[in-house]
Structure 1
Amino acid sequence: MLTVVALVILFAVAAWVGLAGRVVVPADRVGIVSRRYGRTHPDSAFKHVTPTGTRGVDARTLLPGGVHWLTPVVHSVEFVPRVHVPTGMIGVVHAFEGRPRTDRRTLGHHVECDHFQDGQAFLLGGGEQGVQVTTLAGGQSYYVNTRLFRVEIRPRTFVPPGTIGLVHAKEGAVRPPDQRFGRHVECCDFQDGQAFLSGGGEQGRQLGILSGGAYYDINPELFEVITVDNVAASREGLTDAHLQEIAIADGYTGVVVTLDGAEPHTDATDAVAPAVWGHRGFRLPWVFLANGGQQGIQEETLSGGAAYALNPWFVRVIPVPTRMLILMWHDKPESDTYDADLGRITVNVQGFDLAVTLSQTLRIPRGVAPSLVSQFSGTSTSGLGGLMDDPAPLRRFVTRVLGVSVTGYFAEVTSTHSVVEFLGSYQDIRRELAERLTHALENWGVEALGTSLGSFTPKDPSLLGSLKEKFIEEMRDENLRLGPRDARLDDLIDVYRSRAEARRATLELTTEARLLGRDDTALIRMVRELSDFEVPDHIRTGDIADYVRALPMTTVQDLLTRIRELHRDRGIAPAPRRSLPPGISGSDPPGGVWQAAGGASSVTLHARDVWSSTSHCHVRLTLLDDFPTPETTVRLLLRVIPGPDHPWAAPQGDRPRLLLVAVPLTPATLEPATALLHPSPQGAHGVEFTFTAHHPGVHVARFTVVLEHTGTVLQQVETELEILDSGHPGDLAAPHAPPLRGR
């Protein structure tokens, strides 16, 4: 009976223990286990939270998703919500338990503990009390033992686009007193705090910056980040302008002044530090310093048309224009332009105040800009950097170089010139002043593109009358002094011109008489005089030459005979008359004959003689192609056929060479212009011409036959061709002899 009771009691106790010790952790919760009874942990660092199953809060937690068995009464379980870090936030972790920190550090070093979800690994791995260097990323939930860790939610660090973020380290080694910045350590843009501390990161200002347009998981307990959102609360003297990206406009170059670096060499004659490569336009200042970069104005400049994310604690940038600049010396309101100190120029000549405007165009090469800034900026390497859009350096250059040059030049000129001389030497003054300014600019390596000097005007308008009277008086004296000399020079020039004209005319006349004979020379000059006569308007171009060509040849011959007789009366010997070839008379021939060939039938058409020297030879023209149209080339065959009684008709006769001259009298092309042939009674010898009309209508062609060895014109004929648009057969020449026209 007792055994049964004992078994029942034992079973009841076991059932109670099983039911009371069963633990199920709800979702989104974490179970924190505490042990009420038992021994304490021998390590005094674990007084409240222990890594093992000793009395106190267990560092290990119970996770949802299963059944856990614990001893009733001995253990108790507390369910707490899991830790959620929202998106855009980070979790800064504080450890309640762990080992004390050493080396005067305020942050506990990193321990691998599954993002603080494995408390046992944290404690046994040497985790330290206090704020942890490692943070929890946002957008996630963590099963953290809240009796061991406290998680504080902080916003992520955001740097707006177009700006930068400056970093000030609160923890790390103490930097040497001669260094302005903490040692640079690669730490994933300050998001890996443990890498920063383990790599020897130092407190204070950091060389690295945060680029704009990005979020960063940076531990605010380790780093202070200065952005445009919190710059007003900083104690660094920074403003929004210092945290903007440095934009260099087109047509400018950025002269860089580094605020840190090696001291310049004491024996250096150039105040510009030499270039150092590898720092990507001063974006990597630690590379610049590691390669021996010197502080001060740098030889390397920043190109225009780009933006640069630079540390204003490290560099200062001064924009200098490299485009064309026009500087004006004239009255202007107060401004911050480069020529603000240049006013209208006033010069005093013999008591007269004359005002003048001046402009100088120049261009500063990119490589010269650092030297100009070095000499005229007075820039120090203390204070803050960033973009310093200050025109003062170039304004000083303009005033001290160009302004002084202009003032000095006019002081020299006015002391040696009278008013009249001064005003009369305007071109020389403009040229000398341009040379003076060009030389001054070249001494600084600046390109001078042009100098423009305005006119001189009296500042007091009442002085215009006095100035005019003085000018007239001085000019009168000057004219009286130079007048006789100029008159003698004019007379002498006329004498020499007359002599030269006489020599030229004599030489020309002598040469013509020697080559052509006295008689022909006189005839040519008479005809030349006739060519200047006025003629009726209906004669083409209106000169005597066209008028003579319009006359019949017999009339022209009579005119020439009368001219010869006129000159014979004046003592000019006539030239011997050339005889015509045997068998050729001077009577008019009946005319040439046209024959149209090449079609189904042929039509013989007459061409009229304009004039001829023989009636015993005939000119025969044959059309070799049908239906001429505009811009279409047709062929013409010309033959000279002597009559049966002509000496040239004999089989063994001596046939001279004849020169044929072809001229179109209407808008057309007739080629060749000249040709040679032998007369032939059988027509075996002939010359082929090509005729191309340029528009429809009646066209006229003239052919002249000349005896080659004497130049005697034997015969001249003209013919008409009617050119149609359609290309159908038409009259190729007039079937009758029309009235004579032309020559």
Structure 2
Amino acid sequence: MVEVLGYLLVLAVIAGLLYTGLTGFHRVPDGRVGLVVKKFGGTRRRDDDPRVSFHGAAGPQARTLPANSVQWLPRWLYDVRYVERTEVPNGTIGLVIAKAGASQPVGAVLATHVECDDFTDGERFLREGGQRGRQQHVLRGGSYDINTDLFEVITVQTPEALDREGLTPQDLRQIAVPVGETGVVITHVGAPPNADQDTVGRVVGGHAKFQLPWVFLSGGGQQGVQGETLDEGGHYAINPWFAHVVLIPSRVLILEWSGERKDEHNLDAALDQVVLDVQGHTVRLDMKQTVQIPPDAAPRLIRRFGDVRAPAAHLAGRAPVRQFVEKELASFVAGYFRRISARYRIQEFITKYDEVGNELAAEVRQALARTGVVAVNTTLEEFTCDEPELNEMRRKIALQVEQVKIEKERLHHLEAQRASEAVLAEIEMQRVRVEEARKQLEYVELKILLDRLGPEHVAMERILHEWSQVNVPQVIAGADGDLAHAMLQAMPFTQARDMLMNMADAAKGLERSQERKAISEGDA
């Protein structure tokens, strides 16, 4: 009987061992991760986290069972449960929060980085001092065997976690910098920024365009607007807890001062038609200014005019550019026209309008150079005045100016073909045509100024008086009595033009005086 009981006991032990051995195998399904909980164990070590153990103490374990694997863990000692692998959709990033680990220093925003194979090696993370809280490293699109007892992963598919962290799905999309734009990076952590408003963060190497925050921070990277920018056409996985990106257009921008209605989101939405008063005459004109913001100038523009993050992604970066257009460029243009309104006479404005455009272009170019923005081209459209007579005068001058440009372009074309004697002879002829067109322009301008003086006998009277004051031949008769032609032959164009402008001002003043006198006598 004793022997039978002995045999039975041995059989029971063997059966128990067989059962334990056979049931201790755990097959992890495809697309799942096995999370292990130890039912009991030895004394917990001091450096072992009570939430998740990496030394084998009782409770949740740091190590995981990978998908499509078979592991042996006795059921009397371990429980295993299966969870879905962590999926990060392509084109997005996953943010990680550690639930266990060492404490972060007081005031720290992000945990110290620890290499742990994209958070799939929880044991290494805890063993090397990984800290609880928000992590610097992000997960790119893909599948990961992550211990969800140790880490929480926030993706575009976890809306509740996004809301809790104050994030939007857009924050978790990789930064795509379109062609024709520059990505300006603004970091939320780092060394204190410079106090100078024109200074941006110093360049730190090796951080792969801000995709490795720990390298940036260990190299002394500063908080705030960075001098290094993101290149157009690139895609960047940047941790939104570490930094955000403002897209600034680097393509050529066309800004228009006009009375036409514009979309409220346009960069030039606040630019109206230019209206100025020249000697009591209201002058209206449209203007176009093309500018370009080079990549190295974009960070300073953000530093000066602020970073107003737009609610719509396609408007990001436009707010500081609009601030620049309205506060810097528009203010300068308005100041320029105020100055010339007081400086120019209406006759000068009509005859020197092209010079006004050239002067404005030069001054805008010089003013914007201080900001790093390039003034590509300045164009003044033909103006309209409150007097139709003045508009007609300007039209005649503009037509002749265009003719001069055409002749000059023909000359340049010929000079580029200096291949034969025939071409050289034609070049000389074209130079003559250019000079003739220029002389014709001078003639048209003087003719218009003479017409402004009024009746012929009054004009002659004034011209004779002025003529006697200058050192020129005392003969003013020209072919067919053409006074403008005679003046051009007798004296320099600029001297003749200035003389006629003075007389036109005096004649205009006399007319106004007579009008006021007539009105007062009529009232009497």
TM-score (norm 2): 0.71
TM-superposed CA distance for 1:18, in Å, is: 4.1
TM-superposed CA distance for 1:323, in Å, is: 1.9
Q: Which moved more, 1:83-92 or 1:301-310?
A: 83-92
TM-superposed CA distance for 1:141, in Å, is: 3.5
Equivalence for 2:492: none
Q: Does 1:201 align with 2:133?
A: no
Q: What is the one-letter code of the residue matched to 1:136?
A: L
Equivalent residue for 1:315, pick from 240, 243, 250: 243
1:520-539 mapped onto 2 (5 Å cutoff):
none
Number of aligned residue pairs? 413
Question: Pairwise CA RMSD of aligned residues?
Answer: 3.4
> Max radius of gyration: which structure?
1
Q: 1:195 to 1:388 in 2, by over 3 A?
A: farther
1:145-184 mapped onto 2 (5 Å cutoff):
145-184=74-113
Contact 1:318-1:388 within 8 A present in 2 as well: no
Q: What is the one-letter code of the residue matched to 2:238?
A: L
Q: Does 1:475 align with 2:474?
A: no
TM-superposed CA distance for 1:279, in Å, is: 0.8
Return the structure number with greater relative CO, CA threshold 8 A, min gap 6. Answer: 2
Equivalent residue for 2:340, pick from 413, 431, 437: 413
Q: Tell me the SS of whatever aligns to 1:354.
A: strand
Equivalence for 2:53: 109
Equivalent residue for 1:131, pick from 60, 63, 79: 60
Contact 2:54-2:127 within 8 A present in 1 as well: no
Q: Does 1:369 align with 2:298?
A: yes
Equivalence for 1:84: 27
Q: What is the one-letter code of the residue matched to 2:143?
A: Y
Q: Tell me the SS of whatever aligns to 1:392.
A: helix
1:616-635 mapped onto 2 (5 Å cutoff):
none
Contact 2:227-2:299 within 8 A present in 1 as well: yes
TM-superposed CA distance for 1:19, in Å, is: 6.5
**Cα distance in 2 between the residues matched to 1:361 and 1:154:** 58
Q: 1:349 to 1:152 in 2, by over 3 A?
A: same
Q: 1:88 to 1:167 in 2, by over 3 A?
A: same
Equivalence for 2:174: 245
TM-superposed CA distance for 1:283, in Å, is: 1.0
TM-superposed CA distance for 1:489, in Å, is: 6.8
Q: 1:487 to 1:443 in 2, by over 3 A?
A: farther
Equivalence for 2:327: 400
Q: 1:165 to 1:276 in 2, by over 3 A?
A: same
Contact 1:355-1:457 within 8 A present in 2 as well: yes
TM-superposed CA distance for 1:246, in Å, is: 0.3
Contact 2:184-2:230 within 8 A present in 1 as well: yes
Equivalence for 2:21: 63
Greater fraction strand: 1
Equivalent residue for 2:218, pick from 273, 281, 290: 290
Equivalent residue for 1:256, pick from 171, 177, 185: 185
TM-superposed CA distance for 1:272, in Å, is: 0.6
Q: Does 1:488 align with 2:416?
A: no
TM-superposed CA distance for 1:204, in Å, is: 1.0
TM-superposed CA distance for 1:393, in Å, is: 1.0
Contact 2:257-2:273 within 8 A present in 1 as well: yes
Equivalent residue for 1:226, pick from 126, 133, 154: 154
TM-superposed CA distance for 1:143, in Å, is: 3.7
Q: 1:453 to 1:388 in 2, by over 3 A?
A: closer
**Cα distance in 1 between the residues matched to 2:390 and 2:43:** 98
* Percentage of pairs with the same residue: 38
Contact 1:401-1:440 within 8 A present in 2 as well: no
**Cα distance in 2 between the residues matched to 1:336 and 1:403:** 17
Q: 1:476 to 1:349 in 2, by over 3 A?
A: closer
Q: What is the one-letter code of the residue matched to 2:239?
A: N
Q: What is the one-letter code of the residue matched to 2:234?
A: A
Q: Name structure 2 gaps, 5 residues minimum.
A: 395-447, 468-473, 490-524
**Cα distance in 1 between the residues matched to 2:211 and 2:391:** 67
Contact 2:88-2:139 within 8 A present in 1 as well: yes
TM-score (norm 1): 0.51
Contact 2:267-2:322 within 8 A present in 1 as well: yes
Equivalence for 1:579: none
Q: 1:286 to 1:237 in 2, by over 3 A?
A: same
Greater fraction helix: 2
Q: Tell me the SS of whatever aligns to 1:359.
A: strand
